[in-house]
Amino acid sequence: MLRILFSPRVMVLHLLAVGALVVCGLLGRWQLGVFEDSGRPRSAQDPAPVAVSTLTLPGKHLTSDLVGRKVTAEGSYDASRQLLVAGRDEGLWILTALDLGDGTAIPVVRGAVSAPGEPATAVPEGKVTVTGRLQASESADSVPRRVRKLPEGQVLTVSSAELINRWQGVRLRDGFVVATAQSPAPAVAAAPVPAPPPTEPGGLTWRNLAYAAQWWIFGLFAVFMWWHFVRDAVRGAKAAPGAGAEPGGGSGGDPGPGPGSGGRPSPAAV
């Protein structure tokens, strides 16, 4: 049995089966990786900053293609309209309304502090130019509620609907800006808050998943063919000795005297 399995002809079958199985497995895994990557968001083009007033309007929702865009905003901060956003990895976000001077304002995340009352929470005076990225208004369910009861002056989400109720008497533009730079720079800078760039939603390419399954089926078929050929080789080798046997059993015994041998018949024959 082992002599058959390790014969040169069958060893070639072993090597071919292993090679086909490895190649098909790797190609299938590659196609599966392409399928998985197709579902991930992709980085979109990141154009130069534009004025925030050209992208947002009061009472008009921010579209998804504008989220993450670089914007600039010029105006003055309203010290009476500032909140701290709790439950964030960076600490407490400093959220201040920036009066754009045209009767509208937009919320700006100026940075983050570890505790209320830090010097960085002081509102800068005078005209400022803020550069940052535009973000969509958050919903109440978009941020995990890590704090059940918030102190006065703190919120859990940057929601335009909630801010309109809190900051009455101002026309707020939808969304908010996460500041990345400010001119002139504040006397005490807060910790920066990361602002994700714009992304495009990915679309799953189901064709690549079908290709992956196809390669793995090819690998299983190669295993089946290997088993089929090896089985035939073993059966053929077992049947070979019987095919060369002599007719009549080939016992090699004395056939006895033939006709005309001249021998006397035995008494039993008489």
Query: What's the number of CA atoms in the CB half-sphere (13 Å) around residue 117?
Result: 2
CA distances 13 to 22, 23, 137, 216, 223, Å, are: 14, 15, 64, 19, 10
Q: Which residue has the tokens 């063919």?
A: 225
User: What is the torsion angle, in degrees rounded to the nearest 10, for the CA atoms of residue 125, residue 129, residue 135 and residue 138?
Assistant: 10
- Whether the pLDDT of residue 97 is over 60: the answer is yes
Instruction: Please state, in angstroms and rounded to a whole number, the distance separating the CA atoms of residues 99 and 80.
Output: 11
- Whether the pLDDT of residue 51 is over 90: the answer is yes
The one-letter amino acid code at 119 reads: P
Q: What's the pLDDT at 261?
A: 47
Top pLDDT among 121 and 34 is at 121
Q: What's the pLDDT at 66?
A: 86
Q: What's the pLDDT at 155?
A: 93
Q: What's the pLDDT at 45?
A: 64
Nearest Cα to Cα of residue 82 among 192, 190, 166, 174: 166
Reported as a single tens digit per residue, the pLDDT across 67-82 is 888 999 999 999 999 9
The one-letter amino acid code at 170 reads: V
Domain ranges of the chain: 2-37+205-231, 50-200
Model-wide pTM > 0.75: no
* Omega within 30 of 0 (cis) for the link into 144: no
Instruction: Pick the range with the lowest mean pLDDT from 78-92, 145-159, 207-221, 242-256.
Output: 242-256
Percent of the chain topping pLDDT 90: 37
Tell me the mean pLDDT in the region 159-187.
Answer: 92
Instruction: Please state, in angstroms and rounded to a whole number, the distance separating the CA atoms of residues 85 and 92.
Output: 5
